[in-house]
């Protein structure tokens, strides 16, 4: 957008300058020609009164700044040598002054009617005289036009920055919201339309935050709603005559209570970022023991520096455990696999687990699908922590699972 605005201003400026400078350039050339002809006419007018006095005439034509020729009625010529031209003959016949275009420039002839006949004063204004100073003036106009274009580009760039900066800031806030940072808010600056969009985005972020908070509270209310039926279930278990049966039902009720508590804690918990390098290294070390026992070669590629991600440590660990569990469960013993963790451009990390097993079926990437008779939840657990989730087949035919984590 910034480049387009600058290009638009540049094109507009060039068109305006062309509409202004071209007529001015033509006018400059016309003024220069008129000025040269006016000087030549002044020279001729100083010669005309001296036509009757040949001595004074000979002296006058030699001191003029332009070549002057005087054709006398008897056919003699005074001044710069020149042949009798058609313009000279026409001036004698008509008795009128003429200006004629010639290959050498502009020919100016003025007839002088005397007692002995008509004399003609002639001079030629060369093209160099007609265009004297024109090229310099054109160069100044061109430099002025170029300076105005550059100035227009500078102003356009500054204007584009003032328009683009608020939009860029809005884009950054939207990306932060998409990555889970619901505290991100846009500054209402820039044009009125952009300020309106910023306000709408802030309202949307606040509404999402309120909805999530309300959803967490509704989930947390399950503890109170389930307390009564769980208490009744425990009483029913205690009333059973068979002690073993009573103990079994009580244990099931306790397990259900613990599961509900875990769900409530997870709903109310605020995700905290973690160091992906530390979490992945810990889980890889855990699975390395089992890999050695089953004869699997494990290749690891982990960064040596911290790699923060906006995912809780237990969730990232659960995702990696699910992927590695799939490798051990669905590939034969001795199958090699690799785990790599790299920094993601723009922030975050890329986690990749690849094996040399039989690979996934075409539907493996679908949610809840499985090619090995399992529930298919392993990939779903990994998918929940990933901003971008990709399952593909490697060149050797094995499976490659790639997670982009914000």
pLDDT surpassing 60 at residue 364 = no
Instruction: Give 279: exposed, middle or buried? Use CB within 10 Å, 0-12, 13-18, 19+.
Output: buried
CATH number at residue 20: 3.30.450
pLDDT surpassing 60 at residue 369 = no
Q: Give pLDDT, residue 342.
A: 94
Specify whether 229 is located in the same domain as 165: no
Specify whether 202 is located in the same domain as 258: no
Listed ranges 44-48, 233-237, 257-261; the one with the highest mean pLDDT? 44-48
CATH number at residue 368: 3.30.565.10
Cα–Cα dist 110/91, whole Å: 7
Q: Which residue has the higher pLDDT, 266 or 273?
A: 273
Query: Where among 104, 132, 160 does a domain terminate?
Result: 132
Specify whether 336 is located in the same domain as 297: yes
Specify whether 147 is located in the same domain as 174: yes
User: Which is it for strands 399-405 and 388-393: parallel, antiparallel or unpaired?
Assistant: antiparallel
Specify whether 84 is located in the same domain as 54: yes
Share of the chain above pLDDT 90, in %: 17
Helix or strand holding residue 301 (H, E) = strand 298-301
Give the bridge partners for 339, in sequence order.
300, 353
Cα–Cα dist 39/126, whole Å: 12
Specify whether 179 is located in the same domain as 234: no
pLDDT in tens, 275-297: 999 999 999 999 999 999 999 99
Pair 296, 336: CB distance under 8 Å? yes
Specify whether 357 is located in the same domain as 318: yes
Pair 54, 75: CB distance under 8 Å? no
Specify the number of domains making up the chain: 4
Query: Where among 114, 132, 150 does a domain terminate?
Result: 132
Cα–Cα dist 94/101, whole Å: 18
The token pair that represents 116 in the structure block: 């002995």
pLDDT in tens, 185-197: 888 887 788 888 8
Q: Give pLDDT, residue 107.
A: 87
Specify whether 264 is located in the same domain as 239: yes
Its pTM surpasses 0.75: no
Specify whether 105 is located in the same domain as 21: yes
Residue 192 lies in domain: 135-216
CA 134 to mean position of chain CA atoms:
43
Q: Is 180 left (phi over 0), alpha (psi -120 to 50) or beta?
A: left
Is residue 75 very low, low, confident or very high in pLDDT (cuts 50, 70, 90)?
confident
* Average pLDDT, integer, range 198-204: 88
What DSSP line would sit under 311-361, residue for residue? S-HHHHHHHHHHHHHHHHHHS-TT--EEEEEEEPTTSSEEEEEEESSS---
Specify whether 178 is located in the same domain as 235: no
pLDDT surpassing 80 at residue 53 = no
Specify whether 165 is located in the same domain as 63: no
Cα–Cα dist 94/111, whole Å: 9
Specify whether 105 is located in the same domain as 35: yes
pLDDT in tens, 87-107: 888 888 888 888 888 888 888
Q: Give pLDDT, residue 343.
A: 93
Helix or strand holding residue 13 (H, E) = helix 2-47
Q: Give pLDDT, residue 241.
A: 79
* Average pLDDT, integer, range 327-333: 90
Q: Give pLDDT, residue 373.
A: 45
């Amino acid at each position: 957008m910034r480049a387009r605005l600058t290009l638009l201003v540049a094109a507009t400026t060039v068109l305006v300058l062309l509409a202004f400078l071209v007529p001015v350039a033509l006018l400059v050339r016309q003024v220069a020609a008129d000025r040269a002809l006016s000087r030549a006419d002044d020279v001729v007018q100083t010669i005309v009164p001296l036509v009757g006095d040949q001595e004074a005439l000979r002296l006058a034509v030699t001191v003029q700044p332009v070549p002057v020729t005087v054709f006398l009625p008897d056919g003699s010529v005074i001044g710069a040598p020149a042949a009798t031209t058609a313009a000279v003959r026409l001036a004698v016949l008509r008795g009128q002054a003429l200006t004629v275009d010639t290959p050498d420039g502009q020919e100016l002839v003025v007839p002088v009617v005397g007692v002995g006949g008509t004399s003609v004063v002639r001079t030629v204004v060369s093209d160099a005289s007609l265009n004297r100073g024109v090229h310099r003036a054109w160069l100044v106009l061109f430099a002025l036009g170029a300076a105005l274009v550059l100035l227009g580009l500078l102003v356009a760039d500054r204007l584009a920055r003032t328009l683009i900066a608020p939009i860029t800031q809005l884009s950054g806030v939207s990306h932060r919201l998409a990555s889970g940072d619901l505290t991100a808010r846009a500054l209402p600056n820039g044009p009125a339309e952009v300020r309106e969009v910023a306000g709408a985005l802030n309202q949307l972020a606040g509404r999402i935050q309120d909805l999530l908070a309300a959803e967490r509270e509704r989930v947390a209310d399950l503890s109170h709603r389930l307390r009564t039926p769980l208490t009744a279930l425990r009483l029913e278990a205690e009333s059973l005559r068979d002690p073993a049966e009573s103990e079994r039902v009580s244990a099931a009720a306790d397990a259900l209570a613990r599961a509900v508590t875990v769900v409530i804690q997870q709903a109310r918990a605020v995700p905290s970022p973690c160091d992906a390098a530390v979490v992945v290294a810990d889980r890889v070390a855990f699975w390395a023991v089992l890999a050695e026992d089953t004869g699997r070669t494990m290749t690891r590629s982990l960064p040596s520096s911290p790699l923060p991600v906006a995912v809780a440590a237990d969730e990232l660990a659960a995702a990696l455990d699910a992927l590695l569990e799939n490798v051990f469960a669905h590939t034969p013993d001795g199958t090699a696999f690799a785990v790599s963790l790299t920094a993601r451009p723009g922030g975050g990390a890329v986690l990749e687990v690849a094996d040399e097993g039989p690979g996934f079926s075409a539907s493996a990437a679908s949610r809840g699908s499985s090619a090995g008779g399992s529930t298919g939840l392993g990939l779903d657990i990994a998918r929940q922590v990933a901003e971008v989730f990709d399952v593909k087949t490697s060149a050797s035919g094995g499976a490659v699972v790639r997670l982009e984590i914000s």
